[in-house]
Amino acid sequence: MRTPALVAAIGIPAYLVFMVLTSPASFIAARATRATEGRAHFTDTLGTFWGGSMRAHLDGATVGRIAWRFLPAKVFEGRIAFDVDLDSKDVTGKARVARGWSDWEAQSGSVVLEARALPALVPMVAAWRPEGRVEVSAQGVRWNDRGMFGLVTGEWRDAAVALSDVKPLGSYRFAASGSGDTVGLSVATLAGALQLNGKGEAKLPRGATFSGEARAQGAGAAALEPLLDLMGPRRPDGARSIEVRIR
């Protein structure tokens, strides 16, 4: 190979890698905003692709500050990977997130958030004004716009909502187990006056079904009747049937 060609073969890729690694955090913030179709945006950017931070805003609400550190060794595994930390008043978490040729992967991750922050992430729950603490973890979960593989688990401790004077309602465990375009869903009660249990599945990229039951027990059972009436019709055994269909 002639010298000019050799220089080009080595120098151009090296230059492109250098440009990526030294790209300002504002460039990354702009790409992240486009990836969320404008639902999220980012300010107060510091650093570069190699390592930096930015403040995240979701649907007008400030989520917190996100910091990242590039993991160059993962390139040899065919992944662009980062250690990511999220810190705010209501949300803390850390994860090792990687991007492959066709999917994303959370090689390890955990998030703890105050339930009052949930409406910023799931607007449909805003009217319920949830309280308590939610903990979510994922290990080796892969996903793209067509499916998900792996298990995501979580617990909602000391759960409460504005529609009931019973506080807390209880503590609950939930899970999402992906095997491609089908994700199995489950909810189980750990403890509390409001007993929730059920299973369902989500079909990606859209559509979900869930069937379960809700019932009250203990001294606060009578006070839970108005909330139970909102959750579903009464069965002969006194439990309420919960049926959810999303298309």
Tens of pLDDT along the chain (247 residues) come to 444 443 334 343 443 344 445 567 787 778 777 777 777 888 888 888 888 899 988 776 777 899 999 998 888 888 889 999 999 889 999 999 998 888 889 989 999 999 998 887 788 888 899 999 999 999 889 998 889 999 999 999 999 999 999 999 999 999 999 999 999 999 999 999 999 999 999 998 788 999 999 999 988 799 999 999 999 999 999 899 999 998 8
- What pLDDT does 148 receive? 94
- What pLDDT does 4 receive? 44
Q: What is the pTM of this model?
A: 0.84
- What pLDDT does 13 receive? 43
- What pLDDT does 38 receive? 74
Q: Residue ranges of the domains in the chain?
A: 1-88, 102-247
SS3 content of the chain, % helix, strand, coil (to 5): 25, 55, 25
Q: Find residue 197's DSSP bridge partners.
A: 213
Alpha-carbon distances, residue 228 vs 118, 202, 239 (angstroms): 22, 24, 9
Kind of pairing between the strands at 61-70 and 80-87? antiparallel
- What pLDDT does 8 receive? 38
- What pLDDT does 42 receive? 87
Instruction: Render the burial of 199-235: b for 16+ CB within 10 Å, e for the rest.
Output: ebbbebeeeeebebbbbbeeebbeebeebbeebbeee
- What pLDDT does 219 receive? 81
- Do the Cβ atoms of 56 and 62 come closer than 8 Å? yes
- What pLDDT does 11 receive? 40
